[in-house]
């Protein structure tokens, strides 16, 4: 970092510097450099680009005084960066991922290259794969660290360890094993990280955990080959109809879950309801009358569970023929908060289907699985983060007990034993995981200002205060 302001030990200097640099040409160039790496975690040939990305990021950490280490777990690469200033000061764990979903070349508006940072005229938006998830959010936080250090004369005032992984989009392979094997080495007092969206583009948000996610493949096969729908109609079981009725017994007509064991006992805890009071989720895109009754929309997505049908097929939809299909397949996904027997979710579904007369349907859990996790809204670390963001903006941030989506947050809460505070720098309409991924240009300066204030405050607080032990 160059041309730093005179060190004044000033919080205002930190937030101002963060805001200024995030609006600069240098920041935009750094963002373009990150976007240019084709780090699609699912691509067979992504290895060299992933390694090059970590080389680039490692150089950036080293330039501001971090010791860096490259390692692997379960065959997947990780970067660990450390800046230990004083063992008696609090230690914060940071996290980011540099991998992305596929670029979806050729599907972006105006022929945009997903791996090139671009701005549409008159939109005040920046486009590029990974800008929201998660390269842009990572750069915001790294810039904020630099701003806080500059304002404190080259020091943070606390210790910071940062994990950068390259497989979050494929289920974070190796992250659990890394944190288990290196638990002592990664010991910290608090996780501070950024991913996911704010509740709205102009509303700074904190979330304290993430809903779990499990996907189940349901399959029913009655025979080899189809049968004429006229000659056999009314005589043979139709797997498509049977599967449709089986899916209908998973939730009611408005989407409320009916599977015993797929919702927590006791309802939504009072502190969670209090945190969600008056909030409108998902940018206001809500279907009235849908979801679990007697809950607000915010409670349904940030404090409760949902079951969704991702796909359902029988026969040949692209070319239907007059035949009873021999088999049917559906994919069902459960998003859930803490409080379930997570190792028995498939068993609960099988038992429910059997009770409803669909015991012939095979249930297989597939794909990446995320566990549910959450730090209580009244935890001292959560209160500290809320006060910090409020000090910067003059208004209380939105506090979500759980992100609606899923993250490997349980690794930090359950294995490393940390309270977790996530400060997202995206918004619901960012088109992550789709063509035209983007962020509003203004969000970078706003987010960096918030994070610079938070990092500054972490340099002022004691470990006992963060953990609620003072």
**Assigned domain for 56 exists:** yes
Same domain as 115, residue 239: no
Domain-located, residue 280: no
Residues 191 and 223 in one domain: no
Last residue of a domain, one of 329, 349, 370: 370
Asked if residue 163 and residue 186 are part of one domain, the reply reads yes
- For the chain, the C-alpha Rg in angstroms (whole number) is 24
Q: How far is CA 309 from CA 312, 333, 334, in A?
A: 7, 6, 9
Structural domain harbouring 319: 212-264+305-370
Q: Are residues 193 and 323 in the same domain?
A: no
Domain end, chosen from 320, 355, 370, is at: 370
Asked if residue 242 and residue 100 are part of one domain, the reply reads no
> Do 103 and 145 belong to one domain?
yes
Number of domains present in the structure of the chain? 2
Is position 286 within any domain? no
Neighbours of 116 (CB within 10 A): 12
**Dihedral, CA of residue 137, residue 140, residue 144 and residue 145, to nearest 10:** 60
- In whole angstroms, what is the distance from residue 372 CA to residue 402 CA? 9
Among the candidates 370, 395, 427, a domain finishes at: 370
Quote the distance between the C-alpha of residue 438 and its chain's center. 16
Write the CATH number for 105: 3.40.630.10
Tokens (6 digits) for 442: 């203004």
User: Are 352 and 438 part of one and the same domain?
Assistant: no
Burial label, 254 (beta-carbon count in 10 A; 0-12, 13-18, 19+): exposed
Does the residue 274 lie in any domain?
A: no
- Do 147 and 239 fall into the same domain? no
Same-domain status, 309 and 392: no
439 and 324 in a common domain: no
- Long-range CB contact pairs, 222-231, < 8 A, 24+: 222/326, 222/327, 223/326, 224/326, 225/326, 226/315, 226/321, 226/323, 226/324, 226/325, 226/326, 227/323, 227/324, 227/326, 228/322, 228/323, 228/324, 229/322, 229/323, 229/324, 230/322
CATH of the domain at 250: 3.30.70.360
Per-residue pLDDT of the chain (470 residues; tens, 9 = 90+): 344 444 445 999 999 999 999 999 999 999 999 999 999 999 999 999 999 999 999 999 999 999 999 999 999 999 999 999 999 999 999 999 999 999 999 999 999 999 999 998 888 999 999 999 999 999 999 999 999 999 999 999 999 999 999 999 998 999 999 999 999 999 999 999 999 999 999 999 999 999 999 999 999 999 999 999 999 999 999 999 999 999 999 999 999 999 999 999 989 999 899 999 999 987 788 999 999 999 999 999 999 999 999 999 999 999 999 999 999 999 999 999 999 999 999 999 999 999 999 999 999 999 888 899 999 999 999 999 999 999 999 999 999 999 988 899 999 999 999 999 999 999 999 999 999 999 999 999 999 999 999 999 999 999 999 988 87
CB atoms within 10 A of CB 235: 8
- Tokens standing for 444? 């970078």
Is the same domain home to 399 and 462? Answer: yes
Q: Which residues are within 8 A (CB) of 382 and not within 5 positions of it... i.e. 6 or more apart? A: 206, 208, 375, 376, 399, 419, 421
First CA to last CA distance, the chain? 36
Q: How far apart are CA 193 and CA 195, in angstroms?
A: 7
């Amino acid at each position: 970092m160059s041309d730093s302001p005179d060190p004044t030990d000033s919080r205002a200097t930190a937030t101002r510097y963060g805001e200024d640099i995030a609006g600069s040409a240098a920041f935009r160039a750094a963002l373009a450099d990150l976007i240019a790496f084709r780090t699609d975690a699912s691509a067979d040939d992504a290895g060299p680009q992933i390694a090059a990305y970590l080389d680039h990021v490692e150089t950036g950490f080293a330039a501001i005084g971090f010791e860096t280490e490259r390692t692997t777990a379960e065959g997947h690469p990780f970067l660990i960066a450390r800046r230990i200033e004083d063992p008696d000061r609090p230690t914060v764990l940071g996290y980011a991922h540099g991998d992305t979903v596929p670029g979806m070349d050729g599907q972006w508006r105006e022929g945009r290259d997903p791996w090139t940072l671009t701005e549409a005229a008159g939109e005040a938006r920046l486009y590029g794969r990974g800008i929201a998830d998660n390269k842009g959010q990572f750069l915001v936080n790294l810039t904020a660290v630099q701003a806080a250090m500059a304002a404190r004369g080259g020091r943070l005032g606390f210790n910071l360890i940062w994990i950068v992984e390259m497989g979050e989009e494929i289920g974070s392979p190796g992250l659990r094993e890394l944190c288990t094997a290196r638990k002592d080495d990664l010991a910290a007092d608090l996780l501070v990280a950024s991913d996911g969206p704010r509740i709205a583009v102009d509303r700074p948000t904190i979330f304290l955990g993430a809903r779990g996610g499990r996907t189940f493949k349901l399959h029913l096969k009655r025979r080899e080959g189809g049968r004429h729908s006229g000659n056999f109609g009314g005589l043979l079981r139709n797997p498509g109809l049977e599967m449709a009725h089986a899916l209908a017994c998973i939730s009611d007509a408005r989407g409320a879950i009916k599977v015993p064991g797929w919702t927590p006992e006791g309802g939504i805890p009072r502190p969670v309801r209090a945190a969600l009071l008056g909030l409108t989720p998902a940018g206001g895109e809500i279907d009235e009358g849908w979801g679990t009754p007697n809950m607000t929309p915010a409670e349904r997505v940030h404090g409760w569970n949902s079951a969704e049908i991702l796909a359902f097929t029988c026969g040949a939809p692209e070319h239907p023929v007059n035949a009873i299909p021999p088999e049917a397949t559906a994919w069902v996904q459960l998003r859930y908060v803490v409080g379930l027997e997570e190792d028995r979710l498939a068993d609960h579904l099988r038992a429910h289907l059997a009770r409803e007369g669909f015991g012939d349907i095979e249930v297989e859990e597939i794909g990446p699985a995320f566990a549910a996790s959450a730090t209580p809204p009244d935890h001292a670390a959560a209160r500290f983060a809320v006060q910090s963001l409020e000090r910067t903006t003059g208004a209380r941030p939105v506090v979500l007990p759980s992100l609606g989506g899923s993250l490997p947050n349980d690794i930090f809460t359950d294995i490393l034993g940390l309270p977790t505070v996530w400060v997202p720098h995206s918004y619901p309409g960012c088109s992550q995981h789709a063509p035209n991924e983007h962020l509003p240009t203004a969000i970078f300066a706003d987010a960096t200002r918030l994070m610079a204030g938070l990092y500054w405050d972490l340099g002022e607080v004691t470990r006992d205060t963060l953990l609620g032990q003072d």
